[in-house]
Amino acid sequence: MSTTPTHTTLRRALPGRFLLPGDAGWDAARQAWNLAADQQPVAVAVPTTPKEVAAVVTAARERGLRITAQTTGHAAAALADLHDTVLLKTADLNGVHIDPQARQARIGAGTLWIEVAEPAAEHGLAALAGSSPDVGVAGYTLGGGLSWLARKHGLACNRLLAAEAVTADGDLIRADPGHEPDLFWALRGGGGSFAVVTALEFELLPIPRIYAGGLFWPWERAGEVLHAWNTWQATAPEEITSSARILHLPEPAAPLPGRSVVNIDAAVLGDQRFGEQVLAPLRGLAPGLDTFAMVAPAALSRLHLDPEQPVPVISDHRLFGELPPAGIDALVQTAGPGSGSRLVTVELRQLGAALARPTPGSGALTSIDATFALIAGGIADRPETGAAVAEDLERLTGAMRPWDTGRRYLNFAEGPAEASTLFPPETYLRLRRVKAQVDPGDVIRSHHPIPPTP
């Protein structure tokens, strides 16, 4: 590819690692975790310091280009065309400092959750971390943060104490309750449209051990198990956060008892005796595999058995209110045994409890007005398999439409979604006003972008 004047001036202006189309390492640099997303930005910048981030933002803005920041790229499929955008990879803005006395952590924006969870656990502390070890801390937090402790402790974004960021003007700022309060509000659950975050400070929780694991049955029992789980979860205490999944894997995966299973995962805040009491009704269904045990909080990062390497995925997501038996039947008939579905995973994540209660002094996302989140997806390693997965997703979401609230949760919306469906109307309007204050030229972009008010 020929080098344009813009490319030439960018190369001269930018410090640190900077790649253009045709450079060695270009394809690896532009790759997202979701291999189904073919990202084609103007350039890829890999800054190592906040000052280098500011230089990238300034150089892009002055040349009429935009910036999108990315740690892993789990939700890259939701990004629009990047033909006018510099992709800023934050991987080198890493590092974790745990203050066990203050129960706080300072985390570089390129850090993964497992890099926080493990050192925190050494001090008997837990973060409201993502359910996969290679999820980036920054993107997860900016989008809300739904952890395995969420029904007791709410969203991770509302445990954020401060954020360091670079604005669209190239200014290095600190946002906290006393500095840039409007921006601080927007960064807590409003997404990545407002600034390029370089570091985060979090509150940690004194949780040394958790009763957690999974129960597994042959998928032929999907209807029976999901109906029982739905009845059980309606009265489960908020100390437990659970999910129920139908898994139909391309090949068997340890420790699963087969390719196709129905599974209930859960984390219980409390001792083993309390956990066993809470789970007794589900254990009464005689699971073929039971992995529950007292574990350190860091073990929650691998509770869901998510892949820890990039894969090509097409997924979709919905939020539901109460699901009657007809809703469970519709899900099983569309994605369970005998359905012919090519979806690898169909999950109902339990919400409610603290997630349904607005948090005083919270950020843009204070609660989720739903009882369940549906997350479903499949492998899209070829165009024809991607088309088949998309077809099955449409069939599933169509069957579940009677219980769809119409709202979405940002971090689970890994395909294009209208930003106005992610927030209550008054919150969305305030986010647009904040965007107009901090980035009226719409230089900073994100998946599910927030447009500035005119």
Domain ranges of the chain: 5-89, 96-206+424-438, 210-412
Pick the CATH number of 96-206+424-438 from 3.30.465.10, 3.60.15.10, 3.40.50.150, 1.10.3720.10: 3.30.465.10
- pLDDT of the residue at 78: 84
Whether the CB-CB separation of 344 and 248 falls below 8 Å is answered with yes
Q: CA nearest 142: which of 451, 452, 447, 453?
A: 447
* Domain at 5-89, CATH from 1.10.3210.10, 3.40.50.720, 3.30.43.10, 3.40.50.300: 3.30.43.10
Question: Residue 4 has what pLDDT?
Answer: 56
- Quote the tokens at residue 269: 């805040």
Q: Would you tell me how many other CB atoms lie within 10 Å of the CB of residue 253?
A: 13
CA dihedral (289, 327, 236, 360) in degrees, to 10, reads 130
- Cβ neighbors of 185 (< 8 A, separation 6 or more) are 363, 364, 430, 434
Q: Can you tell me the distance from the alpha carbon of 42 to that of 87, in angstroms, rounded to the nearest whole number?
A: 8
Architecture of the CATH domain 210-412: 3-Layer(aba) Sandwich (3.40)
Q: Please report the pLDDT score of residue 15 as a whole number.
A: 67
Whether residue 306 contacts residue 313, with contact meaning beta carbons closer than 8 Å, is answered with no
What SS3 class is residue 450?
coil
Contact 29, 18 (CB under 8 A): no
User: What is the tens place of the pLDDT at every residue in 117-169?
Assistant: 999 999 999 999 998 888 999 999 999 999 999 999 999 999 999 999 999 99
Report cis status (omega within 30 of 0) of the bond before 307.
Answer: no
Q: What is the pLDDT along the chain (454 residues), one digit of tens a residue?
A: 445 556 767 777 776 688 999 999 999 999 999 999 999 999 999 999 999 999 999 999 999 999 999 998 888 888 878 999 999 999 999 999 999 999 999 999 999 999 999 999 999 999 999 988 889 999 999 999 999 999 999 999 999 999 999 999 999 999 999 999 999 999 999 999 999 999 999 999 999 999 999 999 999 999 999 999 999 999 999 999 999 999 998 877 767 777 899 999 999 999 999 999 999 999 999 999 999 999 999 999 999 888 888 899 999 999 999 999 999 999 999 999 999 999 999 999 999 999 999 988 899 999 999 999 999 999 999 999 999 999 999 999 999 999 999 999 999 988 777 888 999 999 999 999 999 999 999 999 998 899 999 8
